[in-house]
A and B are shown apart, each in its own frame.
Chain A
């Protein structure tokens, strides 16, 4: 029997005009697992991700988080339920310091954000959390640097650190390794491996090494539907997947 997932979708559909981007997808993400969604370009991964994050509303079907229906909730409301997300294109507060990027995200979990008289530095817990997350991400030495001036790999780590600062239960990572190579990609992989011990993660990723190495479970999409699901070993052995996706690599 499959345990009921932390995040589920039921017959989730999204069409744009006549094009069906996501077609009746039943997803089941178990708590404390790293669940990767892969598939060729145009398979509907990003649309599915946007439906999970609340960036888009589905045409039909439902999204459930911890057995609560969240289909109609927007990004902000889902954030407060404990769904944190990172973005495919680095999406940070560029002119603010790396520290402030994380600090203001941590502040979003307090009731103090409409306080207008006391300095923000008085929020000691927020400051401590932000510092701990930066330390953990290996960005402590860059805390005072302007976020927009950080190197690409550091920005990707900051991107994830911002999401972590909102104390999520579930982390949605949208192609975190995009644009990274060599050393940076390895650093990111190591970071995600660490995070996977503590968070439930849904990962969209093109980097197959990263997916095969880190995932507990993989869902393969093709033409908007689920083609296969299973452990990395099962996916690797699946002839359908090989043909549709992995095989195309030659």
Chain B
């Protein structure tokens, strides 16, 4: 069993490459990729570790504000530096939130991630001089990449696509790595994982930190997409949307996150043009999927291809 097996990943690369030829709306596609990163970061925690984080917007927000402030206040910041700073800020925030939240057991830990999200939101709201409060942080420039202008929306789409694919591939590797295997052991039975000698807390906080880093990168990409950091990047609605995308796609496979993010982004765009009360339709879809396909939309793939190895019961492989 190997989730990093090239086949599925190459299909994803091809889909990402041709998407702008099918959907002529690069900004929306870029947003789908950004949401894909957020959902993948969420699913790393829920799918692999079995930890429901209700505060993923905290790290998205940290990355967005960190990159935004850097690009507003400092001239000539290379784009990769902006992403790196965002990743580090997302990771740092997640390290603190993760270490403190995981002091709590079960549902309390979940509520703590939510509480920290609220805290982050009010900080962003109150620190107007820094973040612009509810007016948002304006004037975020989009740097070029090794001399290539990313001002065009297609160019920026392909840049974000490259970042997305690199990060997602790294997550696939991580899921298959010895570290990823320990996360699943913790998900299945944390006391037993401790009894066989794993410092489970360290693994959990590390996974949380990685999830924060990925979310931070997504936040930075979002800030540069719109040239502006709205307060929404850190609000609880965003955290909820990340949960919905994760569950919609399914946590049984890392690809589920991508499917969920794509459906969520494209559908909310279409539905919002049709009807003002579109979130209702999305809610109905979400409930239907969760009630009928417990493994999310990606479950359909597994049902159609019963030979597809499920990560839940990894097979022996040489």
Contact = CB atoms under 8 A, between A and B. Distances in A.
B185 A118 contact: no
Given A75-B195, A119-B4, A93 B316 contact: no
Interface string B192-219: 1111111100010010000000000000
A93 B185 contact: yes
B189 A94 contact: yes
Contacts of B174: 116-117
A104 to B, nearest CB: 5
B196 A165 contact: yes
Contact of A123 (B178, B192, B313, B315): B178
Interface string B290-318: 00000000000000000000001111111
A216 B280 CA distance: 70
Contacts, number: 122
Contacts of A121: 2, 176, 317-318
A76 B313 contact: no
Contacts of B185: 93, 96, 104
B179 A97 contact: no
A97 B315 contact: yes
Nearest to A118: B177
Contacts of B4: 119
Interface residues of B, number: 34
Which of A118, A143, A145 neighbours the largest number of chain B CB atoms within 10 Å of its CB?
Answer: A118
Contact of A144 (B2, B173, B198, B316): B316
Contacts of A97: 313-316
Interface in B163-195: 170, 173-174, 176-182, 184-185, 188-189, 191-195
Interface string A157-183: 000001101100000000000000000
B191 A76 contact: no
Interface string A41-63: 00000000000010000000000
B195 A100 contact: no
Contacts of B203: 113
A95 B176 CA distance: 16
Contacts of A131: 316
Interface in A114-150: 114-121, 123, 127, 131, 143-146
A97 B311 CA distance: 10
B192 A162 contact: yes
A112 interface: yes
- Please give me the 10 A-B residue pairs with the lowest Cβ-Cβ distance, nearest first: A93-B188, A79-B197, A108-B197, A146-B313, A105-B196, A119-B176, A120-B178, A104-B185, A116-B174, A116-B179
